[in-house]
Each structure stands twice: as C-alpha cells, then as structure tokens.
Amino acid sequence: MLKNYLKIAWRTLLSNPFNSLVSILGLVLGMSCCLVIALWASQELSFNEFFPEGKRIFKVRTNYLFNGEVMTNNLTPAPLAEALKSEVSQIEYAAKYADWGPQLLVKDDYNAIREKGIFASDDFFNIFPLKVIAGNLIDAHISNEQVVISKSAAERLFNGSPAIGEILMMENQEGKLKSYLVGAVVEDLPVNSSIQFDWVINFKEIEQPWMSWGNTSYYSYVKSVPNTTREDMELAASAIFAKHSDYGKDSYPVFQPLADIHLYDVFENGKAAGGRIALVRNLMLIGLLILLVSCINFVSLVTAKASIRGKEIGIRKVIGANKNALLAQFGSESLLVATLALMLTLLTISLLLPLFNSYLGTQLTLAWQNTGFWGLLLAVWVLASLMSSLYPSFFLASLPVFNALKNQLKPGVSGAYFRKALIVCQFFISSLFLVSILVVYSQQEYLRKKHLGLDRENV
C-alpha cells in the first residue's frame, strides 16, 4: 500500500512540474536557513564538552564589592591558583595562565610564524589533558626551557618533518630571542573550545615578584576532587583573599562550570545572568520562524490547487476510499516533497557552507559521522513534514464527495479563516524580518559613518 501511495505521489509531482518545483524550492530555502542556524547553534551549545571529566573543571572568577554592588572580574591574581590547591581540600588541581596575544616563533632566518599561545602553570595539562602526537607532554611542560606546540603549528614550521628536539626562538620580556626545545606536539584544539593556543610555555618563564594578589591579570582554572559541588568549593575558598591580601577584604572567588563559560559570560550581582546564550536562543527562534514561513507557503500552494484534484478526490471516495486512506495518500505526498527538499537542502548547504564559513569566520561542517548531526537532520525533516502535511491532508481528505466531483470546492467558514490566518502570519513574519534587517543595517551605518569628533588618521 505504501508503495502505491508513493508511486501516486511521484506521478502527481510530475504532472504539475512547475507547481511542484515552487513548492519544493520554498521548502529547500526554509530548511537550508533553519539547518545552517541549527548547525551553528549546535556548535555553540557543545563548547568545552569534549574535555574528559569536564564536569569537574571550573573557571575561577573574582567577585568584589564596588560602590555597594557585587562586580565580577574574569581575571584573577597570579598567586590564587597555588593558594586554592594548597588550602582548599575539595580542589585536586589548580592552574593559571597568561594570554599575551600572538608571539613570533622563529625557527631560522627563513622560517617564522606569529602564533597565539599561553604561559601556563604546572597543572595546566592535568586539568586539560590533550592527545599527545609526539614527545612527553608533562615533562616538556614542567620545564621552562621547553615548549609544547600544536600539530598545525608543527606542520607550518617544520613542513611534516619531526618537530621533537628542534629549537624554536621567541622574544622574552627583555626583548631578546630565547631558545626553547620542542618537547611535545599535541592535537589541535577544536573550534568549540574556549581555550585556544598553538604553543604553551611554563608560567615560570614570565613569573615576576610584582605578580602579587593586587595584580588581577591572569586566567585561573581548577579541577575538583570527585563528588564535590561548586558550593562546597566556594564556601571553603570564601576567605582566601582576605587571608592573603589587604586588597581582598571584599573579594572572593566564584567557580563557573567549564560548560557554561562560553554561553553564560555576563554576570549580575555576582552570578551568571546570561550572555551569548541569548543570541543562540534568538537565532534558533529565527530559524524556526523561517521554516514556518516556508511551510505556510507550501500549505497555501497545496490548498490553492485543491480544485484541480477535486474529481480525483470525489472518485476515490465513490469507489470506497475512506478518510484515513485519503489522509495517508495526501500525507505521503507531503512527506515525499519534504524528503526531496531535505536532499536538495543538503546539496545546497554542502555547496554554500564554505562561502558561509569564509564570510562569517565560522568552521561549520556537515558531520556525517556524528550521530547528533543525523538527529538534527531528523528533527528538521520531522518539523517540516508535520507543519507542511497536517492541514493539507485533512483539508483535501475532508472535501465533500458531491462538491468534489463537480469541482465546486467552496471552503467552509472555519477553513477559510484558517487559511487567511496562515497568510497573515506569513506576511507578518516576513515583514518583521525585513524591518529588523533595515533597523540593524541603519544602526550599523550610523556607527560606521558617525563623526566621532576626531581625525582617525592621526590617532
């Protein structure tokens, strides 16, 4: 029976090629926008989830009082990590690192690249264990005479030759080139990592006496002992600033789970209150609205062409087809259209995704080997199928036999109002998008062209 339904559905599509093409392309456009947004949102929501035992890793932030209000600093003092490890029993490892921006790595007179890196303390790789491609990671990092580099940096510097044991030079704080032995090569961090680097040198290399409790310029992370809560750590560490420094009388550390630091980076009154998660939610809503508009367009086209199929529906009912059989028939047609649209959507995205990535600086991919990606595809297909098939199927299957045979398909009052509501909804959403785009564009143009009262060329 299903085979017959699909065969009839295919013949129906071929009998009205233009109408079928418009219907399919409308769904392709909506599904493509929705799927690209879903891919981006999936990447955003997966930040930092790849680290082993990531639920035990926390970023340390500093809360302090300012004019009677609790403020939160993303950075911490240099001595805090060691104090947390030695004085808070709930913490197994603690590390700090300094991010001073890209530095020039020099191999020889002809090979040098500017790469982003960090100066991290001893426990860094105990908290963030990475896959080692070559060398001894822990031994290389403990020594401040060695450097750990990423796989991509090794390829750029050594062109596929073994990097272990080679010498790289970097400018030190005195402005002189210092030599470092390449002690380990690690796998590149994925794009959904909040921490990014191509080289790591031990923090001891830059440590100075002035890096005290009053200097909050460093990032700190901790790894808790098993079965420890964030509240336990915060309670145990609440007085650590006051104990070590006069600067910290009104300061105390707070611990944010690793999985939250990318999406919840805005703090109010000392607690995470939102951040990038708002952008993710808004774009996901926009993606669903775009998909809804394309499905409404499909429904409108199907119901508008109902008169063409009036005699077919009437004859089917006369020879004994019941409402359920007609529902299955017209539902299978909509599902076939949704399936063809999904196939064309995947082809479209695979062709346009490189342009999208280069324009927006993202690294989205169609991860065919990822079960989550297949789940995402299934979700988009099911949503499109349900939204585009339910009403047309019930509408066509409910047409009266006599009127269908005479092609007198005057819709009922409720049906007419419903279809008008769909059209109004479609135009409202489309108008909302257009107005929003114009407002954002005008704001961007205002910021770009507004005279700041100074000559930028001389600044």
Transcribe 289-331 into DSSP letters: HHHHHHHHHHHHHHHHTGGGGHHHHHHHHHTT--HHHHHHHHH
Q: Name the residue among 190, 66, 208, 56 with its Cα closest to residue 131.
A: 190
Element (H, E) at 80: helix 80-87
Residue 24, pLDDT score = 83
- Report in angstroms the alpha-carbon separations of 98 from 24, 107, 176, 221: 53, 23, 19, 12
Residue 52, pLDDT score = 85
pTM summary value: 0.80
Longest dimension (CA), the chain: 94
Residue 326, pLDDT score = 66
Residue 276, pLDDT score = 92
Query: 349: how many CB neighbours lie within 10 A of its CB?
Result: 19
Instruction: Report residues of the chain scoring pLDDT below 70.
Output: 1-6, 8-15, 109, 174-175, 247-248, 304-328, 330, 388-416, 418, 452-459
Q: How many CA atoms lie within 13 A of 173 on its CB side?
A: 8
Residue 109, pLDDT score = 67
pLDDT tens digit string along 205-227? Answer: 988 888 888 888 999 999 999 99
Q: Name the residue among 112, 105, 185 with its Cα closest to residue 150.
A: 185
Contact 12, 334 (CB under 8 A): no
Q: What is the C-alpha separation between 165 and 184, in angstroms, rounded?
A: 9
- Report in angstroms the alpha-carbon separations of 197 from 65, 350, 390, 439: 33, 29, 51, 38
Residue 199, pLDDT score = 92
